[in-house]
Structure 1
């Protein structure tokens, strides 16, 4: 993207990834970003904002849950859900306007405006704590929602402008980790402060905890404003944009804009569903601790700590698991783990030891049954990190820079709607007599249904998941010059054909989606035909079987290349039966005759003799043994202009890339 200053040339990063292990220099850790001005002030600004949100919300929730007598007209059983709902109403009302503002103005300037506004809001909140005024605290909750609504599009549109593509997953991981560490710290500070003087008589006046809460909220807001002063200028994406101040028409326009890219829109829905799940669990913790586990407010801090540490660790692991790429194969893994541990949390919540008094942290941790609850919360959140980081990075990378902030605004609108529905569902289930464990089980089961629906609509997620599992469990893959696969624009990829999983391995290691040219018979099978049709694979048939299908395949390839897609063909036309390459057929020449694009030669080494190849009885290794233990290599050659891409040259180049190893 032309408006992003690059910290280093892309070729440098790619060569580091592709070089042999003994000669490669380790790429810089994602934590190195915390030492750079283009990222560090922004990181600490959003960190302090997230912490302040939670100092305020946890302090407010704790006071009204455990000191309800000090607040008139407040129902302690539903107030946590009500606070969450009030906080997210501004996302529905103002996200569309915020997205336009973030596209039109300098994001650093907007950040400073937002942090100044936060100081004013926290003065109102402090007054609410000191006066024990529920209306003032509800008003502050709403205004903090406004603060987060305006900052959201700025935050996620800033990252792709300031980070290189290979830094995007790591940067998003740090932001997600920082957000939940801030939630953890805010939870601890808010919960501890709210508990100061909690045992004093109600008539004793305002307890010290309320004074501490108000003072800390103001102090954190001031610190955030100082950090924002160091955020470097970040030019607007569309300075000439004319703002539509009608939130309803602009909300509809933003949602239509987001729907323009099907994968991006479904990724927005996926993230919104995560916020539905997260809001349900986080809003339930106080009542879960008090009513289900007979524990005091300090135990809520332990529950939130496990949740925050889990999602923070999951977010950081994404960079390592994805090899610094946007790996959407982690998304199904994340949703699977969320459901498994959400369901187990339901069963872990039954048969817990009961006590005649509210358990302290020490007493709570002394019961072995409680450790299963903590493990479930930690693992559920960790898989939530696997789920969220790739989706955020995918949205940022595939959204047009000119209206990226408005796409993020559409995301915030959807997030808020899902969170409101989450609060309404939890309140309805509570009113119907369903306990907190039942709410957890309902959410985990719904997660299975929603995940299945999204992956049915976009099989790319499932295919990448299968590919990711294959290359991270069965094989250890060495990459040689995969940076030669172009980051944008149409190109034809040609590769030797060794096994049934060649396409999956290439898909797993490509930074971009690929449209594979595949035998038409595959499309007749019920499951694989459905999957590959949705993955936009191109069916091809021999001329003697179906000449019309063959001509249609060539035209489909030309259309895909004209749209800037990558098209991969295996020119041999069939799997090798001996391990040696078959002669290349003229199909690739027919494609290039219709689209003059570069050809990227590739070679797979190490798949012959595996369980997935047509292993001949020639005295080689046993197929299963080799398939489960061998390393394989994907080597990519220099691009060849279409005019020079003769069959002889392509076959010779692929053979040289493969070398002696099959």
Structure 2
């Protein structure tokens, strides 16, 4: 596979049929649902005695209902049965549902169409756990971010195109109903044909005994997920995104009509802008993450959701048009482009927020429980969306305008972000590391795949500057416990950063023997728990740029914990503003310049019995070469 773009996955059987299956499913769901909502909005009297507003609010609710009722069961099915067979079964079910809907369209039977809405909600509920659990089995860890980005892009583009097609087809008089019935059947068949190309993907837990009680299984899934703190909080973060999205997107029809004074095409324009933004943000995640699961993008995404949510409020205040306009006329009005830009950017930063969270869940969740974890998350998503609808109704009833509702949602997002990132400092740490290597420096990693994806290991590296740990942490696919001089913890900003990252303070034996012994106990405990631990065996920052003698602490660590040792070397940090270079600080800052080049070279793991301080120093020197 070409490593230049995630689009290369579309040329491979392990991804392409699966991608088109989920794309066609999202497209068909929304084609059918939108056609029904439109016909109930403009022609409800010929179908039912219920008011149009009642029916149009009932349809999305009935579509979401199966997520609450059947997600627990769908997660178990995805664990127990082979996934390509599950996909084919779900697509055969979709054909049956669309056939039922076709009868409803042609016989003017609303209740058959309502039954089909519940059926399509069930179809999506069953496919969700299959979709997200399939990727970790078929994609490499470094492909997960790109794969998830493609799936999120495909899903939102499918949703957008489905809504546009549903709106256009159903309004084609007098053949609109026939066109919708035929199109939904056609795309269900195309989805089935794609599903037959999905490669065999074994069931992770074929021995699983199904529990048909959805309530009991839901609580069991959530309880299991809570054991892994980062996974559970990633699930909550994902559900919060759906809360945010539901709060904002649900207001678009009325915002377009009452505030922007637009016709239906203005609503479609806003929806298109958001969907394209999500697609662009999802695809950009792979490039910005450096082909690894980079959760540092999550705080970045959250910041953008708040920033552009607030700006959308102010942009709406600057829109003064009162005449009825279509999409093209609306764009000619003062302040219109700023509104559209804000909507696009909310989508872009939403992609930055949600794609790494999905990839983190897939990477860190127990593979035999991943589908059930995704199912539990789907239930949380549905509940958060229901709560979002209730909160929006409450705020609007208390006199908030829709722009003020956008502002309130952005402020709530900021508060939730602070809370989540205080609970899981790793998100914030990775963001700081990501920011450093994407703004101040340009970092190249060499053979970073030698850092293991799981299991304990000790990383050793030369010590050049106060930001060594941040550069190394940014290159690692996993969190690292750094062993650092206790005096660093007294520095105002760096001390907070390293305490937040659970770094292990150490002191020389002659200075604080108790702290030194405690450090070795903490290192042994971290390795016992399967963590990565990084030490700087020189014991101090270099004052000359050369690699100092390695002290014997590494031998003591390996004597207690028989784990692999991985030598690494930093290149290009000598002379950094935060190094001990003797030149004037201002001169150093200008010498290095903006976006200065750095490199981190990672060597082959060494077996514990091979390790000596002298051997490790020689390995680090060889990795570093002449570039200090």
Asked if structure 1 preserves the Cα contact closer than 8 Å seen for 2:523 and 2:557, the reply is yes
Asked if structure 2 preserves the Cα contact closer than 8 Å seen for 1:518 and 1:538, the reply is yes
Question: Where does residue 483 of structure 1 map in the other structure?
Answer: 449
Question: Where does residue 236 of structure 2 map in the other structure?
Answer: 269
Asked if structure 2 preserves the Cα contact closer than 8 Å seen for 1:130 and 1:211, the reply is yes
Question: Where does residue 347 of structure 1 map in the other structure?
Answer: 314
**For residues 194 and 295 of structure 1, what CA distance do their matches in structure 2 show?**
21
Selected match of 2:528 from 562, 570, 579: 562
Question: Where does residue 212 of structure 2 map in the other structure?
Answer: 245
Question: Where does residue 200 of structure 2 map in the other structure?
Answer: 233
Selected match of 2:222 from 255, 267, 270: 255
Question: Where does residue 175 of structure 1 map in the other structure?
Answer: 151
TM-superposed deviation, 1:591: 1.0
Selected match of 2:97 from 103, 117, 121: 121
Query: Deviation digits for residues 497-547 of structure 1, max 9, x if unmatched?
Result: 111110000000112211111223444567655553443322222223332
TM-superposed deviation, 1:250: 0.4
Work out whether 1:323 is the aligned partner of 2:299.
no
Asked if structure 1 preserves the Cα contact closer than 8 Å seen for 2:457 and 2:532, the reply is yes
Question: Where does residue 583 of structure 2 map in the other structure?
Answer: 617
**For residues 408 and 40 of structure 2, what CA distance do their matches in structure 1 show?**
26
1:35-434 matched pairs, under 5 angstroms: 35-67=11-43, 72=48, 82-129=58-105, 135-197=111-173, 208-357=175-324, 359-434=325-400
Long gaps (5+) in structure 1: 1-6, 8-25, 198-206
Query: Deviation digits for residues 579-616 of structure 1, max 9, x if unmatched?
Result: 22332222222211111212111111111111121221
- Which deviates further from its counterpart, 60-69 or 155-164? 60-69
Asked if structure 2 preserves the Cα contact closer than 8 Å seen for 1:328 and 1:464, the reply is yes
Query: Deviation digits for residues 261-284 of structure 1, max 9, x if unmatched?
Result: 100111111111111112222222
**For residues 618 and 530 of structure 1, what CA distance do their matches in structure 2 show?**
27
**For residues 338 and 83 of structure 1, what CA distance do their matches in structure 2 show?**
28
Asked if structure 2 preserves the Cα contact closer than 8 Å seen for 1:152 and 1:409, the reply is yes
RMSD: 2.3
Asked if structure 1 preserves the Cα contact closer than 8 Å seen for 2:74 and 2:125, the reply is yes
Describe the shift of the 1:37–1:656 C-alpha distance in structure 2 as closer, same or farther (beyond 3 A). closer
**For residues 155 and 563 of structure 1, what CA distance do their matches in structure 2 show?**
31
Work out whether 1:644 is the aligned partner of 2:610.
yes
TM-superposed deviation, 1:480: 1.8
Describe the shift of the 1:532–1:130 C-alpha distance in structure 2 as closer, same or farther (beyond 3 A). farther
Asked if structure 2 preserves the Cα contact closer than 8 Å seen for 1:615 and 1:623, the reply is no
Asked if structure 1 preserves the Cα contact closer than 8 Å seen for 2:321 and 2:333, the reply is no
Task: Report the 3-state secondary structure (helix = DSSP H, G, I; strand = E; otherwise coil) of the residue aligned with 1:628.
Answer: coil
**For residues 282 and 614 of structure 1, what CA distance do their matches in structure 2 show?**
52
**For residues 181 and 314 of structure 1, what CA distance do their matches in structure 2 show?**
12
Work out whether 1:467 is the aligned partner of 2:443.
no
Asked if structure 2 preserves the Cα contact closer than 8 Å seen for 1:272 and 1:414, the reply is yes
Asked if structure 1 preserves the Cα contact closer than 8 Å seen for 2:23 and 2:158, the reply is yes
Task: Report the 3-state secondary structure (helix = DSSP H, G, I; strand = E; otherwise coil) of the residue aligned with 1:479.
Answer: strand
Selected match of 1:450 from 416, 428, 431: 416
Asked if structure 1 preserves the Cα contact closer than 8 Å seen for 2:459 and 2:534, the reply is yes
- Which deviates further from its counterpart, 481-490 or 79-88? 79-88
Query: Deviation digits for residues 213-236 of structure 1, max 9, x if unmatched?
Result: 333222222221222122222111
Work out whether 1:597 is the aligned partner of 2:573.
no
Describe the shift of the 1:489–1:521 C-alpha distance in structure 2 as closer, same or farther (beyond 3 A). same
Describe the shift of the 1:293–1:130 C-alpha distance in structure 2 as closer, same or farther (beyond 3 A). farther
Long gaps (5+) in structure 2: none
Asked if structure 2 preserves the Cα contact closer than 8 Å seen for 1:65 and 1:286, the reply is no
TM-superposed deviation, 1:92: 1.5
TM-superposed deviation, 1:569: 0.5
**For residues 336 and 171 of structure 2, what CA distance do their matches in structure 1 show?**
23
**For residues 570 and 296 of structure 2, what CA distance do their matches in structure 1 show?**
21
Number of residue pairs matched by the alignment: 628
**For residues 28 and 603 of structure 1, what CA distance do their matches in structure 2 show?**
26
Describe the shift of the 1:133–1:537 C-alpha distance in structure 2 as closer, same or farther (beyond 3 A). farther
Task: Report the 3-state secondary structure (helix = DSSP H, G, I; strand = E; otherwise coil) of the residue aligned with 1:516.
Answer: strand
Query: Deviation digits for residues 296-316 of structure 1, max 9, x if unmatched?
Result: 212222211111111111111
Selected match of 2:537 from 555, 562, 571: 571
Asked if structure 2 preserves the Cα contact closer than 8 Å seen for 1:315 and 1:385, the reply is yes
Question: Where does residue 520 of structure 1 map in the other structure?
Answer: 486
Task: Report the 3-state secondary structure (helix = DSSP H, G, I; strand = E; otherwise coil) of the residue aligned with 2:408.
Answer: helix
**For residues 601 and 550 of structure 1, what CA distance do their matches in structure 2 show?**
23
Question: Where does residue 3 of structure 1 map in the other structure?
Answer: none
Query: Deviation digits for residues 475-511 of structure 1, max 9, x if unmatched?
Result: 1112222222222221111111111110000000112
**For residues 69 and 307 of structure 1, what CA distance do their matches in structure 2 show?**
32
Query: Deviation digits for residues 10-36 of structure 1, max 9, x if unmatched?
Result: xxxxxxxxxxxxxxxx62532222122
TM-superposed deviation, 1:427: 2.5
Query: Deviation digits for residues 229-258 of structure 1, max 9, x if unmatched?
Result: 222221111111000111111000000111
**For residues 40 and 416 of structure 2, what CA distance do their matches in structure 1 show?**
34
1:475-514 matched pairs, under 5 angstroms: 475-514=441-480
Runs of 4+ in 1 over 6 A off after TM superposition: none
Question: Where does residue 21 of structure 1 map in the other structure?
Answer: none
**For residues 74 and 386 of structure 1, what CA distance do their matches in structure 2 show?**
41
- Which deviates further from its counterpart, 76-85 or 555-564? 76-85
**For residues 530 and 71 of structure 1, what CA distance do their matches in structure 2 show?**
64
Describe the shift of the 1:82–1:284 C-alpha distance in structure 2 as closer, same or farther (beyond 3 A). farther
TM-superposed deviation, 1:76: 5.3
Describe the shift of the 1:540–1:388 C-alpha distance in structure 2 as closer, same or farther (beyond 3 A). same
**For residues 226 and 473 of structure 1, what CA distance do their matches in structure 2 show?**
46
TM-score of the superposed pair, with normalisation by structure 2: 0.94
TM-superposed deviation, 1:155: 0.6
Question: Where does residue 18 of structure 1 map in the other structure?
Answer: none
Query: Deviation digits for residues 442-479 of structure 1, max 9, x if unmatched?
Result: 21111111111111111111111111111111111122
**For residues 506 and 117 of structure 1, what CA distance do their matches in structure 2 show?**
49
TM-score of the superposed pair, with normalisation by structure 1: 0.90
